[in-house]
Amino acid sequence: MMTKIAPFIDNDTADAISFGHFSDSFSLLGMHRHPNSNGLVVSCFLPEALHVDVVDLKTARKVATLEKMNPHGLFSASIPRRKNIFKYVLRVTYPLSVEHIIDPYQFSSVLDEQDVYLFNEGTQLQTYRFQGANWTSIDGVEGVHFCVWAPNAQQISLVGDMNHWDTRRHNLRAHPASGLWDIFIPDVEAGMHYKFSIKGADGTRYEKSDPYSSMMQPAPGNASIIRSKDQYQWQDQAWLQQRASKIQDTALQSHAQPMSIYEVHLASWRRRGEGGQEYYDYQQLIDELIPYVLEMGFTHLQLMPISEYPFDGSWGYQPVGLFAPSYRFGDANGLRAFIDHCHQQDLAVLLDWVPAHFPKDPHGLAKFDGTHLYEHADPRLGEHPDWNTLIYNYGRAEVQSFLLSNAYYWLSEFHFDGLRLDAVSSMLYLDYSRQHGQWLPNEHGGRENLAAIQFLTRLNADMYQAFPGIDMVAEESTSWEGVTKPTDSGGLGFGYKWNMGWMNDTLRYVSRDPIYRKYHHDQLTFGLVYAFTEQFILALSHDEVVHGKGSLINKIPGDDWQQFATLRAYLGFMWGHPGKKLIFMGCEFGQRNEWNHNQSLDWHLLEHGSHQGMQDWVRDLNHFYQQTPALFTHDHSASGFRWLDCHNHDDSILVFARFGDSEADNAVVIINMTPMVHHGFRVGLPYKLSYQESLNSDNTCYGGSNVVNDNVIVAQDIPWQEQPFSGVISVGPLSCIILTPTAVE
């Protein structure tokens, strides 16, 4: 047997391999044809080994014994008279054991040329299927394929439980043309921790979590974890088929359907354990959250970000593991089961998604390969001044593929029914939250972020095409034109936009003492000036009940009774107003304290009649809303709304009508925002119908004073409020009344 292998591995190269400095281990380690003979050569690096044999994997026969080339653990030997590469096992003798190791350096790369091309082009939607850690089989050998994008790295090692975190053991193969590095390792198990040890362009070594990791270790370890091979068996095929089929029928599309969204922070909806310090897991959320949301009549559940985030105080808005569901509530299949159960009970689930920025945590994306890879190098483009975070370089094709693939991942692998994009305004404007001289204009001298605009339009077009029937929602707080306009008509292509203007105006209004509200009447009416320019969601989100803003109930002046009465009337106004609905958890029962992400909601408040009445009001609003097409069928068309009286400043009363597809399908909404009671109040009616009081927030069952209308209200031939008919009702203090027809006369 030939044991002298020079010049195949010279002494300098051997030392470089032994100390983890060699950048191209695949060219020498593993099995190769010997350059100076007709045989093969096998080389490996096993620092703790005493003896190494090469065993043919097919015949189970020993074919060679490797010679230890240096004291650091480099072994090598020639195998004469064998010309064909074959699969083999290393039988390794350690001081206290003997192990059989399938050498990873004998396997060729499994990267697909087309996949890599699309990734580098910026159009790859499933990058996570070949980057990150993916179970696969090569020539009948099962293992995990690890792949990472780091085009400016000098050398990359996989370190983890499988190699005792030794940077010398598993050096990745470089693909310079694409910037990708990969290795296939058979001897791994689900649950093993790993990171990429990257020798950056500047020679500094960085230890990074896997950007495509599907499971991550909590801080301070922050390692990536090899996922289980177990596949979840979905039971929501009927839901997905129905969701997709709605796109063919305009009347069934989401814009013509009720949408009432319950926004939830899973870590603080409810807690368990002594002192309420433990999170609910997905099974407990299945058992308690889903039934609660259904009982309350919400049509959609929106989860605040659940991509892995190290810092609880970020609420998930500073994610590091964008592909990893948070460890806090269980594993990925637990999340799948939760969404599956929602779908089986006709509850849609939206995910709050964060493509606007990412944190500077050293194990994350920041300076990933020693250069500004995912972010801009210039802080005027790459750093977010408000959150001390980094902004994605949307103009880089591979970053676009990363983000597009992440959106696709949540919609495909977890069956979410749509994504709500956080902080879209910060993406659209180069000068967002910046002073003069702190930002760079685009190529035309403007303030628009052209690369971000291109990314958003591609994102929406691609996701709507891939997943018919989903909803893409933008949190966009400016007057940017065409947020919900189709991409083929020059818009951004979102399905919905949060109506931040309506939220700000109306919350300012209800925070005023009733005696002053007549001077600010337009804060309730102004929203109708632009209500039909976009597809709006009226959102009272978590942002409105935190950071010193106070809870909804505590924004309102007056005594306890007035606060609850005003909030009931305000929410009645919201449910009657054009636009879909969203409220944050706790608002439905009048949570008194500001939201605290570190503790459960104050469910004990429901022991008090005022809070129980508030919860009952929201429940009844939701169920009535779903049963009343006039309140949603033409939500985003002026044909579905008519002011009956928007000028009664002195009494702070609003009256408007909502319309469906038929004469009998209409509703009249009366809002009184002062404590005054009005008997004999005449209200205009659009049709000669008999009306009934379907909802009244002043009913005693909700905690009101019981100024109600039990009698049938017959439309009289008395024109009023520019309507051909009218009727007389009583209007209670700080109340919302909704009238609907009983029958056509």
| Catalytic (active-site) positions | 422, 475
Hey, what are 196's tokens? 């990429």
- Residue 7: asked if its preceding bond is cis (omega within 30°), the reply is yes
Q: What is the CA radius of gyration of the chain?
A: 32
Q: Which residues of 491-523 are buried (b: 16+ CB within 10 A; e: fewer)?
A: bbbbbbbbbbbbbebbbebbebebeebbeebeb
CA dihedral 42, 46, 47, 48 (to 10 degrees): -130
- 529-535-538 Cα angle (round to 5): 75
Cβ atoms within 10 Å of 484's Cβ, excluding its own: 22
**Cβ proximity of 417 and 470 under 8 Å:** yes
| Token pair 């809002």 in the structure block, residue | 671
Cβ atoms within 10 Å of 191's Cβ, excluding its own: 11
Distances in whole angstroms, Cα of residue 263 to Cα of each of 71, 154, 213, 256, 592:
61, 45, 26, 21, 17
Q: Distance (Å, rounded) from C-alpha 284 to C-alpha 280?
A: 6
Residue 733 is given by DSSP the state T
The enclosing H or E element of 693 equals strand 689-696
Hey, what are 735's tokens? 């109340």
- Residue 220: asked if its preceding bond is cis (omega within 30°), the reply is yes
Residue 508 is given by DSSP the state H
Cα 58 from chain centre: 47
Nearest Cα to Cα of residue 570 among 624, 519, 512:
512
Alpha helices in 50-199 (DSSP H): 113-121
**Cβ proximity of 741 and 725 under 8 Å:** no
Q: Distance (Å, rounded) from C-alpha 136 to C-alpha 194?
A: 17
Residue 171 is given by DSSP the state B
CA end-to-end distance (rounded Å), the chain: 105
Q: Distance (Å, rounded) from C-alpha 528 to C-alpha 578?
A: 8
Cβ atoms within 10 Å of 35's Cβ, excluding its own: 9
Amino acid identity, position 735? S
| Token pair 């606060």 in the structure block, residue | 563
